[in-house]
Chain A
């Protein structure tokens, strides 16, 4: 049954086989996507026609590699920009949220906490359409009342940032709260006794203690934002993010360029994952 108990041979073997199959199932699509990025063929399919880097580097009429593919490159840039702002905003607000719910007492705290958790159980599509509708309502209001045309309220870059921020902040709040729970309050009390103000204590002591969690939360926020599809789908304007651009290409047929982009994404996210894990290891 478990490792400390005697197990039959067939139980151990069968279980091992199941787990191996599970991992094959897990990695097969990623593996094949990466392999076919290097296949010298016009289609992302077998047979294998030889190794090539052309889907990355080529700039030929019949074959444009990712490094010369302006559509995907500009989408990558947009995604980086969106993810940058989303992770900055959500880390700031999420950290405030962690302090608010862990260190302050106020009326309606439970209700507000519940509200803070809500974005976790609201489907991303619904967040997207409700923010789209609300922005549109506000936009019409400003236009009718003040005769102002506010571009923020139209689908576009900043609306995507706001939409993603609305649920990623919850994740940051939870990650930072978890770390703040482990904080030894006697440190704060000592500093307060020595004459520091509350804000000085937070700045010099508590935030230093929280740094690994905040960096980890920033990385997770960045990744969540970079990969978000459901919420972004409804808020995106003329500047498309990478997942949306890729979706449109995949839906209408595919070329190995998509494999090349996917390969870069897989390598990039794996590296970010490793960085994030090293930081959270240090935290322990």
Chain B
């Protein structure tokens, strides 16, 4: 293997060529193009000129930046809730339930996430809508007098987003908790630690790499989600990806859409970067 260090060998060329083509043609150049397009507008004569208008529009039009801020806040909220819901489950599977069942339970946990996101969202729509299954059951039981529309509000939307990306939190949590030595918890318990102090001072510090990698993936997927806000959040969901979609498909203003896309990319990179800095982790460690 040392030979490759000094000169270019045939295997090296075989490996590097497709990888370079992939990364440059499909990742680097398209994103440079995205950036350039976001600074161009059509002038009165139909020609393209350089301009900052696409970005100025974003700040001038309250609906744009409010949607942007709203998306960011809800994506962070979703990530936090996903973590809070997933941690006990991951802990139960790795540490509490009898080892005979823990393999089976983690398999069971993965099953729903193999199924398309669309099918899962559709399932929630059937359950929650005004003519849906839950309303039907509550009416039958006499708990409701008339059906209630449970879709198309922010709470349901956040629940849907949590549901959609939960797997990407649970799996890394299970793998870090598996590596946590039980005797640490036993020692803390013997020394008089209560549940709260054991969770905050032993379990969470140990699980930090898993929390960060799960958090990054959940955040990124939530921020870039289109299906769930659109179908469950309804017309008023105001998710930023919907603004991008509208610019591209409805208004056919690709330059404005490119600017929005770039802003979303900056937002996601910045928050991921802050998350990594705060927890002193590196991206390459986190994805392992």
CB of B49 closer than 8 Å to a CB of A: no
Q: How far is the CA of A105 from the CA of B5 in the complex (A)?
A: 5
What 6 pairs across the A-B complex have the smallest Cβ distances?
A29-B123, A123-B224, A130-B30, A134-B30, A166-B26, A100-B15
Q: How far is the CB of A128 from chain B (nearest CB, A)?
A: 9
- Residues of B6-35 whose CB lies within 8 A of A: 9-12, 14-16, 18-20, 22-23, 26-31, 33-34
A12: B residues at CB distance < 8 A? 96
A38: B residues at CB distance < 8 A? none
A115: B residues at CB distance < 8 A? 23, 27-28
Q: How far is the CA of A122 from the CA of B111 in the complex (A)?
A: 25
| Residue contact A247 to B118, C-beta cutoff 8 Å | yes
Interface on B for A, CB 8 Å cutoff?
1, 4-5, 9-12, 14-16, 18-20, 22-23, 26-31, 33-34, 37, 85, 88-89, 92, 95-99, 105, 107-112, 114-127, 131-133, 136-137, 163, 166, 182, 185-186, 189, 195, 198, 216-217, 220-221, 223-227, 230-231, 241, 244-245, 248-249, 254, 257-258, 261, 264-265, 268-269, 272, 283-284, 287-288
- Residues of A103-156 whose CB lies within 8 A of B: 103-106, 112-127, 129-134, 136-137
CB of A254 closer than 8 Å to a CB of B: yes
Q: How far is the CB of A277 from chain B (nearest CB, A)?
A: 7
Q: How far is the CA of A188 from the CA of B142 in the complex (A)?
A: 72
| Residue contact B118 to A22, C-beta cutoff 8 Å | no
| Residue contact B26 to A165, C-beta cutoff 8 Å | yes
Q: Which residue of A lies closest to B221 (CB)?
A: A123
Q: How far is the CB of B14 from chain A (nearest CB, A)?
A: 7
* 25 A-B pairs with C-beta separation under 8 A: A2-B95, A5-B186, A28-B123, A100-B19, A104-B1, A104-B15, A112-B23, A115-B23, A121-B268, A122-B220, A123-B220, A123-B265, A125-B224, A126-B261, A129-B257, A133-B30, A133-B33, A133-B258, A134-B34, A250-B121, A250-B231, A259-B126, A265-B115, A265-B116, A273-B110
Q: How far is the CA of A114 from the CA of B269 in the complex (A)?
A: 13
| Residue contact A4 to B186, C-beta cutoff 8 Å | yes
Q: How far is the CB of B287 from chain A (nearest CB, A)?
A: 6
| Residue contact A125 to B186, C-beta cutoff 8 Å | no
CB of A44 closer than 8 Å to a CB of B: yes
| Residue contact A45 to B97, C-beta cutoff 8 Å | no
CB of A211 closer than 8 Å to a CB of B: no
B88: A residues at CB distance < 8 A? 15, 18-19
Partner of B241, one of A47, A123, A243: A123
Q: How far is the CA of A247 from the CA of B114 in the complex (A)?
A: 18
Q: Which residue of A lies closest to B14 (CB)?
A: A96
How would residues 24 to 53 of chain A score, 1 for a CB under 8 Å from any chain B CB and 0 otherwise? Answer: 011111101100100000011111000000
Secondary structure type dominating chain A contacts: helix
B198: A residues at CB distance < 8 A? 1
| Residue contact B119 to A266, C-beta cutoff 8 Å | yes
Q: How far is the CA of A132 from the CA of B186 in the complex (A)?
A: 56
CB of A66 closer than 8 Å to a CB of B: no
Please report the number of residue pairs spanning A and B whose Cβ atoms sit closer than 8 angstroms: 268
B185: A residues at CB distance < 8 A? 1-2, 5
CB of A57 closer than 8 Å to a CB of B: no
A97: B residues at CB distance < 8 A? 15, 18-19, 22
| Residue contact B4 to A174, C-beta cutoff 8 Å | no
CB of A215 closer than 8 Å to a CB of B: no
| Residue contact A96 to B19, C-beta cutoff 8 Å | yes
Q: How far is the CB of B238 from chain A (nearest CB, A)?
A: 15
Having A2-B96, A125-B241, one finds 5 other A-B pairs with CB under 8 Å, namely A26-B109, A45-B133, A121-B220, A198-B10, A269-B114
Q: Which residue of A lies closest to B222 (CB)?
A: A123
Q: A112-B19, A125-B241 are contacts. A246–B118 as well, Cβ < 8 Å?
A: yes
CB of A217 closer than 8 Å to a CB of B: no
| Residue contact B18 to A45, C-beta cutoff 8 Å | no
| Residue contact B283 to A46, C-beta cutoff 8 Å | no
CB of A93 closer than 8 Å to a CB of B: yes
B9: A residues at CB distance < 8 A? 198
Indicate the member of B14, B15, B105 with the most A CB atoms within 10 Å: B15
A29: B residues at CB distance < 8 A? 120, 122-124, 126-127, 163
| Residue contact B34 to A133, C-beta cutoff 8 Å | yes
Indicate the member of A131, A178, A265 with the most B CB atoms within 10 Å: A131
Q: How far is the CB of B86 from chain A (nearest CB, A)?
A: 9
CB of A85 closer than 8 Å to a CB of B: no
A247: B residues at CB distance < 8 A? 118, 227, 231
Q: How far is the CB of B180 from chain A (nearest CB, A)?
A: 10
